Amino acid sequence: MERRTIGAAALEVGAIGLGCMPMSWAYSSSSQRGDRSLRTVHTALDAGANLLDTADMYGPFTNELLIGRVLKERRAEAFLSTKVGLLVGDGHVVANGRPGYVRRACDASLRRLQTDVIDLYQLHRPDPEVPVEETWGAMAELVAAGKVRALGVCAMGARARRRWGDVRRDPYEGTIRQLERVQQVFPVSAVQAELSVWSPEALDRLLPWCASRGVGFLAGMPLGNGFLTGTLTPGGGFEPDDLRARHPRFTAEMMAANQPLVAGLRRVAARHGDGVTPAQVALAWILAAGRHVVPVPGTKRERWARENAGAAELTLTEADLREIRALPGARGSWD
């Protein structure tokens, strides 16, 4: 697979990553099976999709334990990204950016992941009670101690921003201000934020900010929580613990209304021959946004991990990109 170099730390990763969250968090729990997820991670590594993206809150903790079983065998082949800053309580999530907690959380993640070093340690959410410079300073100390290679920041999506009280008109104004503050303490190597054909907001300011400063961009949810794959049926329903069951874009009405997006991706895929899928076109569209961009699609199935990795071999034409840009904007509230 093509390699991309991101960030001040010159991190080299496969052009497509693997989001590990669905293996143990936020999606239908009845289909979460450890043995199948392990095979999926191995499949991704075999295909060159070596960026494994996890977090201590996924599970909580069980996702890191799962990835640790793979890393015990194949650490040298993997680029490990995990996160700190969120604690899961009974039905709620709280931020903790206190320096002491950050240090303890890193040591715990290293134990669960069965490794001596984390390649990219990301701040999952800033703690409103702690100056972000203090949290970032503690993370920088972990780099100096050799426990972490580079640091990153997760930018909140629309629903998370509203939940945490950020209602600015510019969706990434707060994120950019925080990035500029922490850059004064220690270099930001990567920013992770949602980016997809039906959520392109990061293209306007956040992506250019990263490009102008040599910061890598990890595109989260690049397949629109599965919608852009074309495999979801409007009205098919979701399990109660699946985040899409409460998501305003995943009502039967809104899924039906947004089918023109999937149809457009299918048309582009058809021009590239048999076997090319809408999901691969959606990922190739993100790859075309810049050499510093790496989409990180999440999956727990080998088949989809293999298909997603194949998107790195797909090059869209200018006509393809124009057609995708001309697709109607997604309907339905996102926040």
**What positions carry a catalytic annotation?**
58
Quickly count: other Cβ atoms within 10 Å of residue 280's Cβ: 26
Return the closest-CA partner of residue 155 out of 145, 142, 164. Answer: 164
Cα-based angle 141, 213, 128 (whole degrees, multiple of 5): 50
Lookup: tokens for 36: 């199948």
Cβ-contact 165, 192 below 8 angstroms: no
In single-letter form, the type of residue at position 162 comes to R
Q: How far apart are the first and last CA of the chain?
A: 36
CA distance 229 to 36: 20
Cis bond upstream, residue 234 (ω within 30): no
β-partners of residue 293 are 217
